[in-house]
Amino acid sequence: MMGCSGREACRWLGFNRSTLRYEPKAVTEKKLLLEQTIVEVSLKYPTEGYRKVWGQLRSLGYRINRKVVQRVRREEGLQVPPPPPKVRRQGLSTGLPQKAHHKNHVWAWDFVADYTQRGGKLRVLTLIDEYTRECHALHPDRSLTAADILRVLEERIEQHGAPQFIRSDNGPEFIAKIIQQWLKDNSIKTIYIEPGCQWQNGYAESFNSRFRRECLDREVIYILSEGRVVINDWRHYYNDVRPHRSLRLLPPSVYARSQTVQSIGSLRPTGCSHRRFEISKKLQDQPSENISSDLD
């Protein structure tokens, strides 16, 4: 080395002699396959963090440490960017909403607005169970009236049973007298949040943000029929595939089936199906200004 020893050259260059003589080991096929699988799952679900990807790999039968998943995702640049910091609300909260303690205890419904590429509004009715986090309905349409909301609610009650409480904001569709009367006749209590206090409907707002981030913001929807297919596919993915942190990384439908405690109001109310077509006919005959009426 031009009259210079290897030790002296390493000292001048700032190298460690063990690093100079290190021979890298060949990567095993098992490790390569595992890292490739981590990358494929991460690219398939780009909005999920490393913990949820780790849960997906465990459900596929891989016995792997979550730190390995985190390291591979960092090396490949697949980290999910952190959400922007939230501005904390000043003052004490005066809302004390009912907390769900079992399945079919509290449901929450809300609207998510979007648009199609060929023009036209897209309004989606969301309906979730606050305890199991299961999404019972994602109903998209150009516009939704009280009659449409009641029709969707009746179908989901026949399928899942009736809730004891249902939480919503003070939108004109939710405070319509016809809806309040129907809920009262079927022994379903309402929880209306205070105007402007969206945090009192936290489960619905949290679901809406994930629905928008993982579906509406990622998909280009041209027409309404295409939107119905895309949104319905995402609902099945959310219920049956997507791990949920608060449910021990179980999908909501799996967690809901594991619950053996049934709520008091889980049975379908008497006369629910008999009143279905009577209500629809009554809404058609009733003037439109009476549908979105004020609170009693």
Asked whether the whole model's pTM tops 0.95, one would answer no
Per CATH, which fold does 106-290 belong to? Nucleotidyltransferase; domain 5 (3.30.420)
* Residue ranges covered by each domain of the chain: 6-76, 106-290
CB pairs under 8 A, 24+ apart, for 194-201?
A: 194/94, 194/95, 195/169, 195/170, 197/93, 197/95, 198/169, 199/89, 199/93, 199/95, 200/93, 200/95, 200/97, 201/97, 201/108, 201/110, 201/167, 201/168, 201/169
Residue-by-residue pLDDT tens, the chain, 296 positions:
467 787 888 888 888 877 777 777 887 888 888 899 999 999 998 888 899 999 989 988 888 899 999 999 999 999 888 877 765 444 333 334 578 888 999 999 999 999 998 888 999 999 999 999 999 999 999 998 888 999 999 999 999 999 989 998 888 888 888 888 898 899 888 888 887 778 888 899 999 999 999 999 998 899 999 999 999 999 999 999 999 988 989 999 999 988 854 443 444 444 444 444 344 445 445 544 443 333 33
